[in-house]
């Protein structure tokens, strides 16, 4: 199996076009990493980086650590790319949600050339989000003790309106440059550009993870380790392989709904009927429910703690403790919100009424189900059942890092690769990238990653062309 994969990688560099696309992608991703490492002027990025490292080892992740992970560590370094690509992702999600509820946008999405206009609207919204988030981030760096709990000292050397304007413009420029580079990867590289930018930022934490893993099994002299390198190491490796296999299986899992097309007349031609299937993904919502749930659950603890201290209510301070990530109440709410947002995302993005109408329009029908409202009800019922399976899977994957980090005392840098958003994004993007590279291989008659390579000894004809 490993030999087949290696032969497939070798075949990738035998195709001049694919080889140039791979090298172009690697160069652009290197530029993206450089953007995340370049520091903003007038900020002490090393002090914030030390703070993040201490908080990750003591208190785990949180939303700020997750956001820093999406930026490739730029946030904790006070880098130019501290906003990352997330404003563009947020703008895209907002436009998608609005397209589901605003009739004008929904009609525009179905028109010829409408998708290009919607993408353009997303870019304009990205600029507005960058300006707003960049200004808020500049103010937060001016007052680090309010946003970074327990942060000692100051980050900004010369605070003031000039610093705020300069930082806002630089952060906006950094995000727009990352967005443009991601689009270049999609057009001139191997594709999946924006997702690859996020994935490379996640994988950039591997050196920190390896260092934390070594310190966990082999602590400094005079400190006794609670973990056995052989027993616990084998257990962690087995859990990692099991979780990755589960993520791959559920990510690719789909319910195939058979569709039959009747014979029909188009103009003066008679079009023969046929059979096909409609794939319904089990994990239709992807990683979005986890991101939404983490973003919302960040606020109750901080708001209750702030109100309790300002109003001198001990009850609110004690209640805030139960909203921490290591508490059962937090895990219960976290799981419940993931279930809710999984169904919410499907309800806004999966339009069973339009699918049923399109099937009826083109002479298609599901065997055993009448066209029209009956087809709509069937698709709604089917999607609801498989969404439950996908949502429960997301709950398990999202809670694994919390259990490992909080209950077992494993470093957060290590625990984040056993589940949560980082693993889901990485596995999903790697699978999509392999499919895109495989399409280039199959066009040149080579076996691909997912089609069962037979040794990759050269081109093999796959049919008559």
What are the tens digits of pLDDT across the range 169-195?
A: 999 999 999 999 988 998 888 888 888
* pLDDT value of residue 458: 42
Rounded to an integer, the average pLDDT of 194-213 is: 83
* pLDDT value of residue 27: 93
Is residue 464 scored above 80 in pLDDT?
no
The predicted model scores a pTM of 0.77
Is residue 230 scored above 70 in pLDDT?
yes
Rounded to an integer, the average pLDDT of 314-339 is: 80
- Radius of gyration of the chain measured on its C-alpha atoms: 25
* pLDDT value of residue 132: 92
Q: Percentage of the chain surpassing pLDDT 90?
A: 12
Backbone angles phi, psi at 403, to 5 degrees: -65, -45
Separation of alpha carbons 150 and 280, rounded Å: 47
- Domain hosting 166: range is 1-204
* pLDDT value of residue 5: 67
Separation of alpha carbons 189 and 25, rounded Å: 5
Question: Which of 51-55, 231-235, 277-281 has the highest average model confidence (pLDDT)?
Answer: 277-281
User: Cβ neighbours of residue 17 under 8 Å, at least 6 residues apart?
Assistant: 440
* pLDDT value of residue 448: 58
* Residue 215 lies inside a defined structural domain of this protein: no
User: Cβ neighbours of residue 261 under 8 Å, at least 6 residues apart?
Assistant: 273, 274, 275, 276, 362, 363, 364
* Residue 368 lies inside a defined structural domain of this protein: no
What are the tens digits of pLDDT across the range 102-160?
A: 888 878 877 777 778 888 888 999 999 999 989 988 888 888 777 776 667 788 888 88
Is residue 444 scored above 70 in pLDDT?
no
Place 456 in a pLDDT band, splitting at 50, 70 and 90: very low
Could you tell me which of 270, 388, 280, 303 has the C-alpha nearest to residue 340?
388
* pLDDT value of residue 462: 37
Under a CB-based contact definition with an 8 Å cutoff, are residues 39 and 75 in contact?
no
Rounded to an integer, the average pLDDT of 79-103 is: 83
Place 268 in a pLDDT band, splitting at 50, 70 and 90: low
Is residue 42 scored above 80 in pLDDT?
yes
* Residue 346 lies inside a defined structural domain of this protein: no
What are the tens digits of pLDDT across the range 375-422?
A: 999 999 999 999 999 999 988 888 888 788 777 777 777 887 787 778
Under a CB-based contact definition with an 8 Å cutoff, are residues 249 and 374 in contact?
no
Half-sphere exposure of 113 (CA within 13 A, CB side): 0
* Residue 143 lies inside a defined structural domain of this protein: yes
* Residue 280 lies inside a defined structural domain of this protein: no
Is residue 58 scored above 60 in pLDDT?
no
* pLDDT value of residue 173: 93
Specify the CATH number for the domain of residue 47.
1.10.3370.10
User: Cβ neighbours of residue 306 under 8 Å, at least 6 residues apart?
Assistant: none
Under a CB-based contact definition with an 8 Å cutoff, are residues 158 and 41 in contact?
no
* pLDDT value of residue 387: 92
Is residue 252 scored above 80 in pLDDT?
yes
Separation of alpha carbons 9 and 284, rounded Å: 30
Q: Percentage of the chain surpassing pLDDT 70?
A: 87
Terminal alpha carbon distance of the chain:
30
Separation of alpha carbons 20 and 266, rounded Å: 43
Under a CB-based contact definition with an 8 Å cutoff, are residues 440 and 15 in contact?
yes
* pLDDT value of residue 82: 87
Rounded to an integer, the average pLDDT of 236-262 is: 87
DSSP string of 60-79, one letter each residue: ---HHHHHHHHTTTHHHHTB
Is residue 55 scored above 80 in pLDDT?
no
Scan for tokens 């199959």, then name that residue. 442
* Residue 404 lies inside a defined structural domain of this protein: no
Is residue 457 scored above 80 in pLDDT?
no
Largest Cα–Cα separation, the chain: 87
Q: What is the mean pLDDT of the chain?
A: 80
Could you tell me which of 381, 383, 423 has the C-alpha nearest to residue 254?
383
Rounded to an integer, the average pLDDT of 58-62 is: 53
Count of all residues that appear for the chain in the document: 465
Total domain count, the chain: 1
How much helix, strand and coil, in percent to the nearest 5, is found in the chain?
70, 5, 25
Under a CB-based contact definition with an 8 Å cutoff, are residues 254 and 382 in contact?
no
* Residue 439 lies inside a defined structural domain of this protein: no
* pLDDT value of residue 63: 59
* Residue 40 lies inside a defined structural domain of this protein: yes
User: Cβ neighbours of residue 104 under 8 Å, at least 6 residues apart?
Assistant: none
């Amino acid at each position: 199996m490993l030999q087949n994969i290696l032969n497939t990688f070798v075949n990738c560099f035998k195709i001049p076009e694919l080889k140039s696309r791979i090298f172009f992608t690697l160069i652009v991703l290197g530029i993206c990493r450089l953007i995340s490492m370049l520091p903003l002027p007038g900020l002490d990025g090393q002090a914030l980086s030390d703070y993040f490292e201490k908080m990750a080892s003591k208190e785990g992740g949180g939303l700020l650590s997750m956001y820093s992970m999406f930026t490739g560590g730029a946030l904790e370094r006070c880098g130019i790319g501290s906003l990352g690509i997330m404003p563009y992702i947020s703008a895209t999600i907002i436009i998608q949600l609005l397209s589901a509820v605003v009739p004008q946008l929904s009609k525009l999405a179905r028109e010829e050339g409408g998708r290009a206009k919607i993408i353009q609207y997303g870019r304009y919204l990205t600029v507005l989000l960058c300006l707003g988030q960049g200004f808020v981030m500049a103010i937060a760096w001016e007052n680090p003790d309010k946003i970074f709990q327990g942060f000692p000292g100051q980050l900004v050397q010369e605070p003031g309106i000039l610093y705020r304007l300069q930082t806002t413009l630089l952060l906006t420029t950094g995000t727009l440059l990352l967005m443009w580079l991601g689009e270049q990867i999609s057009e001139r590289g191997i594709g999946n550009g924006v997702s690859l930018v996020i994935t490379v930022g996640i994988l950039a934490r591997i050196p920190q993870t390896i260092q934390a893993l070594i310190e966990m099994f082999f602590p400094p002299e005079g400190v006794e380790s609670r973990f056995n390198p052989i027993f616990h190491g084998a257990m962690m490796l087995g859990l990692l392989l099991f979780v990755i296999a589960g993520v791959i299986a559920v990510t690719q899992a789909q319910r195939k709904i058979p569709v039959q097309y009747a014979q029909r007349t188009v103009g003066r031609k008679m079009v023969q009927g046929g059979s096909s299937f409609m794939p319904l993904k089990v994990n239709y919502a992807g990683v979005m429910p986890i991101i939404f749930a983490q973003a919302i659950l960040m606020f109750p603890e901080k708001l209750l703690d702030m109100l309790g201290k300002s109003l001198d209510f001990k009850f609110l301070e004690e209640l805030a403790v139960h909203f921490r990530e290591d508490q059962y109440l937090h895990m219960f709410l976290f799981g419940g919100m993931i279930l809710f947002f999984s169904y919410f995302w499907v309800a806004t993005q999966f339009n069973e009424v339009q699918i049923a109408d399109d099937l009826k329009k083109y002479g298609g029908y599901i065997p055993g189900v009448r066209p029209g409202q009956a087809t709509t009800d069937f698709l709604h019922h089917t999607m609801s059942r498989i969404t439950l399976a996908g949502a429960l899977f997301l709950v398990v994957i999202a809670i694994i890092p919390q259990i490992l980090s909080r209950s077992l005392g494993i470093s957060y840098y290590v625990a984040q690769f056993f589940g949560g958003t980082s693993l889901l994004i990485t596995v999903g993007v790697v699978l999509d990238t392999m499919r895109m590279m495989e399409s280039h291989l199959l066009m040149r008659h080579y076996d691909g990653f997912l089609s069962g390579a037979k040794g990759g000894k050269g081109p093999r004809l796959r049919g008559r062309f």
